[in-house]
Each structure stands twice: as structure tokens, then as C-alpha cells.
Chains A and B, each alone.
Chain A
Amino acid sequence: MSSLVTEVMAGAISGGTCIMYAAIGESFSESAGVVNLGTEGSMLVGALAGYAVTAEAGNPWVGLIGAAVGGGMMAAIHAWFVLTRKSNQLATGLVVVFLGLGLTSLYGAAYVSRTVNSFTVWNIPGLSKIPFIGEVFFQHDPLTYLSYLLVPAAWWVLYRSRWGMLIRGAGERSEVLETYGHPALRVQFIAVILGGMLAGIGGAQLSTAYANSWFENMTQGRGFIACAVVIFAARQPLKVAAGAYLFGAALALSPALQARNVDIPVLNNQFALASIPYLAIIVVLVALGRKRAAQVPEGLKAVFG
């Protein structure tokens, strides 16, 4: 049984990392007062860009740059329509997702059955030998280790740095920022695009480290889940990470149980198991719902109604 726990927890980390990147990115965007459902599109484009650039360049780190650029470009489209043209945030985000779906099927067909030189698991010397903890945390790909550093870094930037103060100020009271001579719009643009770049990196983690493949619509709503995670985590990086790992755990449960031929009603069906992550997020949102509603930045209250 302990091996099941270890397996699910290790799976939570490896399956949740891509969502964590996207959700940290979305935390920047939402802190600046922009909801970006297009995070799903940024992830999808990032997943393909990461995979395709890795295939052409032969190096997944180069692919990672491609993924960040691709994800950032999708977010830039969202930012321009939402911030400059004042179009509806939720609807524009969805259109960006649809655009990403179409673009990735147009350019992705050539990469569907290609294998690439992807990120490999790198056991951290020493740390990976620690019983349980080593297995859960230190037997992953390099992007997962980077994400461990991303969480405190994002927290520091958002809540301790001048930059974070500007971002949160733009989300709460952009007119105050303007009064003090800071261009709120530019801050919002940067936050949204940075968010898209992180979502793109999350997509690359999915395609070039976790799944080692590319197929159409491979993100399967992970970007939407990232947005939901950000809501219940109230944009706090540590809670965002916990939420992302919760989804990862729900995802890891299915193969772990199937491998053991567990014969419990519902849990022995792959489609019931596949629904668990989505339902789990809704349940968490319900459990934390009322408290969180009050914590949305001023700039987002109009969007969330």
C-alpha cells in the first residue's frame, strides 16, 4: 500500500507540474486584473512549439524557448483585445483557445508520430536516495526541479518586489498607478504575456518531459484547470502549487489503480477515473467558494460578476 501512496504522490508531482507552470502564470495575469482562459491555448501552442522546436533543433532546452515564445504570443493576442480593445475577458480567452486548437492542428500534424530528444528523468545525486521523499520529489525531469524554484520566486516577485506591487496595483486600482505616473496598461500587458510564457513552458513540460509526444488537443483542459486552481488558491504561489499537485494526484490515481487491478465499483472504470480531476477541482472550489469570492482583485470583480 505504501508503494501506492508513493506512486500517486510522485505522479502528482510529475502530472501536476505543467498545470503549476500555467497556474503560476495565470496568477500574474489575474493579479494584474486580467482573467486569461486563453491559458489553455497558450499551453497547447507551447506544447507544440516546444515539441516541434525540440524536433528541429535536437535540444529540448531550445524547444523550451520556442514554447515560451509561442505561449507568450497567444497571451499577447489576448492582452491586446482585452486591454486595448476592451473586449470581454472570458469570451476572448475562449476564442484564443479555439485559435490555438486550430493553429496546433494545422502545424502539429507533421509532428504527431515523431519522436524527439526530450527531457529525461535525472535523479538528483544523494537526495533521490532518501526513502519516500527521494522517490516522490527527486526522481523527475529538470523542468520539475525548476518549478520547485519557480514557486518561491513567483511569491517573492508578486508579494515582495516592486514589480509585484505594480502588478497587484494595476489589478486593484489602475487609476492610482496612473496617478503616480506608472503606465498601468503596460504593467498589465507584461503580466499577461509573462503568464502566457509560463503557460507555454507548462505545455512544453507536458509534451517534451511528461508525455514525450505530441497529439491534437493534448492539454485536455489542463489550462482551464489552471485557471480554476488560481481562483481557489487566490493567486498565492504556494497554494497554487498545492492545487496543481492535487490535480496531478487525481490524474495519477487512474493508472496506479489500474495497474493493481483494484476492483472497487466506479474506481475500476477508466472513464469514471478520468472524470475525477475535473470533479475534484469543482469540489474544492465549492468547499472554498464563499471565502474566495471576496478576495478577487477589484479589477476582476466586473469579470467574475
Chain B
Amino acid sequence: MTTATFAPAKTEVHPAIIAIGRWVAAIFGALVIFGVLMWTKGANPIDAYSSMFESLTRDTALSGIVVKATPLILAALAVAVPARAGLVNVGGEGQLIIGGVAAAWVARLSDGAWPGTMTLVLMAVAAACGGAIWAGIAGLLRVKVGINEAVTTLLLNYVALNVMFFLIYDPWKDVKGGGQPTSAALPVAERLPLLSLGKATVHAGILLAVVATGVIWWVLRSTRWGFKLQVVGGNAEAARRSGFKVAVLLASAMAVGGALAGLGGFTQLAGAEFKLRPGFLASYGYIAFLASWLARHKPIQVAVAALVLAAISISGDSLQLDSQLPAATVNVLMALVLLAVFGWTAKKEGVR
């Protein structure tokens, strides 16, 4: 009798509440492990967490997060689109850099002589093309030769980095840069306009990221191409038998992804940094990869995840200032959060 009264009460818990509960438990677990790790390095975890949280409530924090999130959102979408077709694009790092390089190349061609808006548009187009080509190489190798795209995109990241190094250490080096290996700063007319967001000021790149998120959401949901990608991702063999051009779909998914990441490189160059430097967008590609997997490649959720990881990353700066831990420490927290989500929230749905 007692068991009979208890059993229905147990099943009444809404599945959504269980899911949220698992998420909270997963993230709490990650925070506890990270706290222990910080403690082993002599930092007080409670102080560290409170200063991380406090740093997010400062007036400057919002613009920092939004500016950091802009290329992250675009690069995360660059992971999400190919993932729909079952592809793993780990080349965000390289595609962002090539986007920045292509945009800087247009600015060099203009040399300040073209109208600013026209130059900005051309920079964006060049960046998207650059990113698309860079990712497209991996896509083509996948469909033509059968090489796994995760491996090629990873290897091409290092090549992209060396391409940028080559340019900024030699032919594109700013002669007025005081010996620093950077490209020349963009003239003011070729920078993205600023917007105010309450108390915060951010560059217009965030609009591009938001629009891109909406467009990708619509494309994946409502177009033929988006539907076909989903089918290929679900079962490539079935798609082939239904007469889909699987090779074209896979290669185009990679190229579209690359174009998005390329745009991310453009927004960072034209909105935030104005010149290429050795650490340009370093590790953004990997954080974006985590964001897309965190949100299971659903565009709007991916953008939110990118925003959250941007916030974690910005709050991580306080670890360096207040707790004297290395800046990259916060990467541990991000990895732990993702592992927790992989491990505790999705066994039945099957994390893909």
C-alpha cells in the first residue's frame, strides 16, 4: 500500500524539472571541482568566485561580454551548421584568423582612399569568402578523398596562424608600430560604428552576430537546404538513396560554416582590435566549439551559450587580477562545465 502511494508521486515530477535539475547539478559539480583546483594553487575558492561574480556586475562588464561574444557567436554557428550534417568543424580558430586576414587585406588595398562604408562591406565579403575557402578545403578533402574533417580543420588552424604571422612579421608589418609585429591600424572611417546598450558601448558587430543567428535558425528550420542537411546528418546512406547530392551538401555546410567564422574575424578586426597581432582571436575558435556542443547545435541556444562562455571568460580575468592565477585557468572551468553537461545531462537523448 505504501509503495502504491509513493510510486505515482515519483512519476509526477515534470521531465523538464528533472532536466533542469541535472543541468544545475552538473554545473554545480563543475564549480566544486574547479574550486578544489584553485584551492590547490593557494587561492580561496569562495573569494575567487565572489570576485568573478562581482566583476560581472561592474558597468564595464556588459560591453566586455558583448564584444567578446560577437566573434564567439559567429564562430559557434560555424560549428553548428556543419554539425547539422554530422560534420565536426574544429577549424574555427583558423577560419576566424583567415577572416581577419582577408578583411585586413581589403583595408590595405583601399589604403584609406575608398569610402568607409563601401570598404567595410567589401571587408566583410572578403572575410566571409576567406573563411569559406579555408573551411571549404577541409570540406572538399572530406567528400573527395575521404579524410576526416576534424583532423584537417585542426591541422589547418596551425597553417592559418603561420599565414598571419608571416604577414604581420614581414610584408604587412606596421612601420610605425614601434617594432611590434602588427598590421597597420584601420583608419577611423573603416571601423564598425559604435552602439550604446544601456550604460555599455559596443560595436555594431553584435548586430551582425544576432542577425546571423536569426538567419541560420530560419535557414536550418525552413529551407530545403537546412532540411537536407538534417537528413544527411541523421543518415547519410538514406540521404544518398533519396537522391540527395550528399557531397555537395557536406561541402556547402563546411563552406557556410567557414563564412560565418570568417565574418567573426571581420567583426573583431573592424570592431574591436583594428589591427592583426600575434594573439588575434587566440582560443576563440575552441571556446566557440564548446559553445556549439554545449547547446547541441541549435542556433539560438548556441548564441546564448556563446554569450555565457564569453561571460565566464570575462569573469576569469578577475582570477588573474585578484587571485593571481594564470589567465588560461578559466579554460579549465569551461571544459569542466562541458564535460559535466556531456556526462550528466544527456545519456538518453544521445549526445552527438
Contact = CB atoms under 8 A, between A and B. Distances in A.
Contacts of B162: 271-272, 274-275
Contacts of A85: 342-343, 347, 351
B147 A102 contact: no
A165 interface: no
B304 to A, nearest CB: 19
A5 interface: no
A91 B328 contact: no
Interface in A97-124: 97-99, 101-103, 105-107, 109
B343 A87 contact: yes
A211 B343 CA distance: 36
B342 A216 contact: no
10 contacts: A87-B351, A92-B339, A94-B286, A94-B289, A96-B335, A269-B170, A271-B162, A271-B165, A282-B155, A290-B146
Given A81-B339, A278-B155, A279-B159, A271 B166 contact: yes
A190 interface: no
Given A99-B336, A106-B329, A305-B236, A224 B151 contact: yes
Interface in A251-274: 269, 271-272, 274
A281 B343 CA distance: 33
Interface of A: 37, 77, 80-81, 85-88, 90-92, 94-99, 101-103, 105-107, 109, 216, 220-221, 224-225, 227-228, 231, 269, 271-272, 274-275, 278-279, 281-282, 285-286, 289-290, 292-293, 304-305
A103 B330 CA distance: 9
Interface of B: 37, 41, 86-88, 90, 141, 145-148, 150-152, 154-159, 162-163, 165-166, 169-170, 236, 283, 286, 289-290, 293, 325-336, 338-339, 342-343, 346-347, 350-352
A225 B151 CA distance: 8
Contacts, number: 148
Given A101-B328, A231-B148, A221 B154 contact: yes
A202 B166 CA distance: 29
Contacts of A271: 162-163, 165-166, 169
Contact of B147 (A90, A96, A97, A289): A289
A92 B351 CA distance: 10
A107 B329 CA distance: 9
Given A37-B154, A106-B332, A275-B158, 6 more contacts: A85-B347, A95-B335, A95-B339, A102-B331, A105-B331, A289-B145
| Most A Cβ at <10 Å: residue of B166, B333, B334 | B166
A98 B158 CA distance: 16
The main secondary structure of chain B at its interface with chain A is helix
Contacts of B166: 269, 271-272
A274 B161 CA distance: 10
B351 A281 contact: no
A99 B332 contact: yes
A106 B327 CA distance: 8
Given A95-B290, A275-B162, A305 B331 contact: no
Given A87-B342, A272-B162, A281-B155, A216 B293 contact: no
Given A98-B334, A101-B328, A285-B147, A305 B86 contact: yes
B158 A221 contact: yes
B351 A106 contact: no
A275 B163 CA distance: 8
A43 to B, nearest CB: 14
B152 A81 contact: no
A216 B331 CA distance: 13
